[in-house]
Structure 1
Amino acid sequence: MHIKETTAERHVLAITVDNEAGILAKIAGLFTARGYNIDSLTVADIAEDHAISRITIVTNGPPAVIDQIEAQLERLVPVHKVVDLTTAGAHVERELALIKVTGKGDARVEALRTAEIFRAQVVDSTTSSFVFELTGSPEKIDNFIILMRELGLVEVGRTGIVGMMRGAKST
């Protein structure tokens, strides 16, 4: 018997839920039960009355497993809507990062030049370090971090990905 192998694919899931205690643990439990990792996770209150939150999860898995996870997520009582942005169409993904770099002399000047090219903002500065704020695609942030490693990278903090459909359609 030949077993067909399916390749894991990256998926960005936007999940609208009631803003209540324990929902994040239930959702994470679905991934844990299947042995799949959550690569990125963001949660934010999105309603004026604080009753609704949006959870954005980035994960990898074969399409059949992602479909199964979506179906199980939709069955959870506090879940209103699940959208796989990856398959739903054109969408925008962004992430925020804080990147601390130390250095003096040429390395310091080069860090500032590179930050300018990437449109990173200096949010803290001392005589021996900078903290840069950078917003953009995960790839843009990854590339900036790679360059900063050569110039004195000390620390990185990342928010995780948020995503939204392009155009007038709501997720």
Structure 2
Amino acid sequence: MRHILSVLVNDQPRVLARVANLLGRRNFNIESISVGESEEPGLSRMVIVTNGDERTMEQVQKQLHKLIDVIKIQDLNEHSAVERELLLIKVGAGPATRMEVSGIVEPFRASVVDVGPHSLMVQATGERSKLDALIELLRPYGIKEVARTGVTALPRGTAKTPVPAGS
């Protein structure tokens, strides 16, 4: 079963390396990991996508809690979450096929961000399945390069979640 862990950590050198090393040493596979600033100064949020049953995920969380720089862990599968990924894809597209490729990317709310003599670079965001579908539709044009960020996610707001003043 796929799990998305949101891990709040101290923004310190080598924290990412320690987390990845801990998971690797215990044979937990990381499908994707993304790290960036959080709402708290001095803290970063890691979003880790991995697979495992409930027992395995419990072990992952226990191991992560042992790291001194880990502040909070939230399994976003326990809650409704919004997840997104960024895709940059460069496809073969000369002047004769550019309009055709543009017609494919438009329904995905993707945009052309670079044009070369024989290629287009497209930027798209969304859930993994949406990006996978876009890649498959662009495959016949010749995929030259692909870069994906991996998943980033946050829990949805709920009726029980207070909204900060001024929001």
The answer for unaligned runs of 5 or more in structure 1 is: 1-8
For 2:143 and 2:107, the matched residues in 1 are separated by 17
The answer for unaligned runs of 5 or more in structure 2 is: 163-167
For 1:161 and 1:26, the matched residues in 2 are separated by 20
Task: Indicate which of 106, 118, 121 corresponds to 1:128.
Answer: 118
Aligned-CA RMSD value:
1.7
What amino acid is aligned across from residue 30 of structure 2 in structure 1?
I
The answer to whether the aligner puts 1:161 opposite 2:151 as a matched pair is yes
The question of whether the paired residues in 2 share the 8 Å contact of 1:97 and 1:141 is answered with yes
Task: Indicate which of 63, 73, 92 corresponds to 2:82.
Answer: 92
Percent sequence identity over aligned pairs:
39
Q: Deviations over 1:60-113 (max 9, x none)?
A: 1122011111112122111110001012x1111001111101123654332111
Task: Indicate which of 20, 27, 41 corresponds to 1:35.
Answer: 27
The answer to whether the aligner puts 1:25 opposite 2:32 as a matched pair is no
Change over 3 Å in CA distance of 1:63–1:106 after alignment to 2: farther
TM-score for the superposition, normalised by structure 2? 0.89
Indicate the residue corresponding to 1:69 in structure 2.
Answer: 60
TM-score for the superposition, normalised by structure 1? 0.87
The answer to whether the aligner puts 1:146 opposite 2:162 as a matched pair is no
Q: Deviations over 1:92-150 (max 9, x none)?
A: 10011111011236543321111111111111112321111101001111110111111
Number of matched residues?
A: 160
